Amino acid sequence: MPILPPRARSSLLPLALLCGLVLCAGRFARAAEVVWVYPPPNALITETPVVLLGYVLGAPQVELEAKVVSADGSTAPQREALYLFKGKLFSGSLPLQPGRNNVVVGESVLPLLYRPGFEGDREGEFRVPRAHGVGLENCSPCHGFARGELTLKKQPEQLCRECHKVGTESLRGVTKVNAHTRDVTPDCLRCHDPHASFEAALMRSAESPCLPCHADKAEESALASHPVVGTQRCTPCHDPHSSSYPALLKGEPLSLCRTCHKDVADPDRYPRSYHRPVEEGKCFDCHRPHDVQNRDYLRQPVPDLCRNCHKGEDALAHRGKLEECRACHTPHLSKSKHLLAADVSTVCVSCHGVFPAGVSNHPAMREGCVACHNPHAEARGAVESEKVCGRCHRLSDEGFRWTHGELAMPKVSQCTFCHEPHVSPYPHLLRGKVHYPLQKGGCKTCHDQGLDAVTLKYEGSKNCLRCHGQITGTSTIMEADKVHKPVTQVDCIACHNPHLGVRDYFLLEEPVVLCGWCHGTLLRGVAKQHGIFKEGGTCYSCHRPHISDFRPLLKRPQTELCTRCHMAVLPEDPGRRRLLHGVVEQGRCSGCHNPHGTNSDNLLSDTPDALCAGCHRDVVLDAQGAPLAYLHGPVGAGSCTACHVLGHSHQQRDDLFLRASGSRICGLCHSTPEQHVPQRYRSKMREVRNDCMACHDPHGASNAFLMKPAL
């Protein structure tokens, strides 16, 4: 019997077995057909000579030889006689040349690749084979001959179990009998090759043999990203033969999951709280290891999954923003109570931020956020103040009434209107400075106690006018557009907080924001704002908030107000003031500029041509106010700036802001030689010294060629 090389001998089981049992020698077959036992076709061989095992199909042979042919033809073919056992089983030891070799026996060809000392598993289509057996060098342990045919000594399962102990046992239960143990496990050759294979455990195929039967898992596994299921390897978790655990698992679910997910229930982490399914080892209550429809293989999306047990807790109620419970809780174990990712206040401030230190801090903050807040209840704001604040502050006590201005407060639901619930830079957690009348005279300075409610002493903001009348004046003797509308409506609280505030004059917001509540369109959507806003100025830099002598509530006349910053607009020489552009002379800077912001350069409120046309509409009308029949080309095109430039003052009297003086402006477009002028007009041209506008109207006329009527 041939001795196997060390690598093959360590793997050939009843493989080498075929060398022991044979038929009687029969008739010689001139062209034998054989079956290769070892090595299998396309094997990668690392040692030579290689052991060759196989058996003959059909009639027994008298003699048999193997021919080793180099695939590239670089060496001459070698012939080796094979040992025949009873004309059926053959074996031999064949030398190979480095590279590809073809071993030919009878009509069969065995392709091999010889790579001396190769340490990998495969090269191209060639792979390192594995053989059955550990130290077995013959076929007789499993095979015998009867009536000239190769036979098995026992049923496959009985033969395999003589060496292989299969199944997962547990002290807590016996091996479970199911369809798998009845129909699959006894049929060893269904999944394993008994002689040689390229796969571990002598599997017949690299693909999982489980998936053809478990079609539902096959579909899930095709989509899976689970590191185990995604590779279609079932055996890390399941015993393919038998088990005392459900679903042929190799152990308890928790211990099995922890082989990869070690942090799920690590006792070394000293958790303070365990999720009950983890504590009871019921991983599959929440997870489906084959299903990737939901994140982390959960049976349902969170928070629906959590609601199955925690029916009273609703993560969606937390401001309606938390999509899942894991924003605050860990799903397995935690060093904090209630499976929180950290202590409760740390979890809260991770989203809500840390409150800065203040003059007064709410004592309840020492107990954590949940002292006042229910993180799962629907957020209701001020309507809950009576219930929350009333846990510590006895809102119905007489002392509470006297603290709040001796007014009866049968229903308290707006504590946070005046008090900060966390920290405040003011005493008693107040939201700002206290209004002087409230500070000195109490609530009854402005309020009366009615039978069922607290009322104002005077209607609306007339309470304010008792002290601040000199600021607001009397709107009835003022022009309406010189009085701010809230003042005319006696509605002081439209802008001011009558009780307390953090800003000057108890304003409800910063001036620009506050004014924007009504006048927001002034700055909305503009690319260029008045520079005063960029330099820290506010609406009050130019406007008075209550009453002014100048429209619209300006502190000074418009020109005077603008030229305080834009000093170059007005000439230093008073004698040149007569050269000012009419709109500037009239004090109407806003006639051309938007004082707040625009999308144009220099804060122009429209295009230069549109601005000119807005004031100088009469240039296209005749003396009776009818439209002129003929218009100068630029005028008809609406392009005043073709001839004129915008400016604040003229360079000299009557220069009309022209781009060139006199008739030279016409020469920018028109070049008319004297010979082209009709004979009757040539003397006139010399008389007026070629002054075009002596005869032509530069904007339009009722006559052709823009001729003036007198001509």
Please give the single-letter amino acid code of residue 494: A
Q: How far is CA 535 from CA 296, 388, 520, 597, 613, in A?
A: 54, 45, 19, 14, 34
**Which pLDDT tens digit goes with each residue over 84-120?**
888 888 889 899 989 999 999 988 999 999 999 898 8
pLDDT interval class at 128 (50, 70, 90):
very high
Does 638 share its domain with 589?
no
Between strands 143-146 and 149-152, the pairing is: antiparallel
Share of the chain above pLDDT 90, in %: 7
Nearest to 38 by CA among 81, 99, 93, 98: 93
The answer to whether residue 475 scores a pLDDT higher than 80 is no
- Predicted pLDDT at 5: 40
Whole-angstrom distance, CA of residue 243 vs CA of residue 251? 9
* CA separation for the pair 709, 623 (Å, rounded): 11
Which helix (H) or strand (E) covers residue 685, if one does?
Answer: helix 679-687
671 with 556, same domain?
A: no
* 664 and 545 part of one domain: no
Distance separating alpha carbons of residues 362 and 373, to the nearest angstrom: 14
Q: Are residues 571 and 629 in the same domain?
A: no
Q: Which of 107, 129, 153 is the last residue of a domain?
A: 153
**pLDDT value, residue 223:** 46
Q: Which residues make Cβ contacts (< 8 Å) with residue 687, sequence separation at least 6?
A: none
Contact 89, 144 (CB under 8 A): no
Summarised one tens digit per residue, pLDDT across range 329-343 is: 888 888 888 888 888
Domain boundary among 128, 153, 178: 153
* 233 membership: H or E segment, kind and range: none
**Dihedrals phi, psi of 277, to nearest 5 degrees:** -60, -35
DSSP character at residue 649: B
Q: When comparing pLDDT for 133 and 125, which is higher?
A: 125
Find out whether 6 and 72 touch, Cβ atoms under 8 Å. Answer: no
Handedness of CA 363, 368, 372, 373 (dihedral sign): positive
Q: Is the pLDDT of residue 588 over 80?
A: yes
Same domain flag for 592 and 699? no
Q: Does 219 have pLDDT greater than 50?
A: yes
Whether residue 563 contacts residue 569, with contact meaning beta carbons closer than 8 Å, is answered with yes
pLDDT tier for residue 553 given thresholds of 50, 70 and 90:
confident
Instruction: Tell me which residue of 184, 244, 253, 256 sits closest to 214, measured CA to CA.
Output: 184
Whether residue 631 sits in one domain with residue 603: no
pLDDT, average across residues 46-63: 88
Range of the domain at 474: 464-493+510-610
Q: For the chain, how many structural domains are there in total?
A: 3
| Bond prior to 14 in cis (omega within 30° of 0) | no
Burial (CB < 10 A; 0-12, 13-18, 19+), residue 507, is middle
Domain presence at residue 478: yes
Let me know whether 146 and 53 are in one domain.
yes
Instruction: Please tell me whether residues 87 and 136 are part of one structural domain.
Output: yes
Tell the residue number behind the tokens 């042919």, with chain if given.
69
Looking at residues 124-148, what average pLDDT do you find? 80
**Does 149 lie in the same domain as 10?**
yes
How wide is the angle at C-alpha 91 spanned by C-alphas 88 and 94, nearest 5°? 145
Structure tokens at 698: 């530069």
Determine the average pLDDT of the residues in 474-487: 67
Predicted confidence (pLDDT) at residue 138 exceeds the cutoff of 60: yes
User: How does residue 537 score in pLDDT terms, banded at 50, 70 and 90?
Assistant: confident
Give the residue carrying structure tokens 């144009």: 600
Beta-bridge partner residues of 298: 287
At residue 281 the predicted structure's pLDDT band, cuts being 50, 70 and 90, is: confident
Closest CA to 699 of 651, 661, 656: 656
Token duo for residue 506: 């108890």
Tens-place pLDDT, residues 684-695:
777 777 778 778
Cα angle, residue 352 at apex, residues 348 and 353 outer, rounded to 5°: 100
Residues 546 and 628 occupy one common structural domain: no
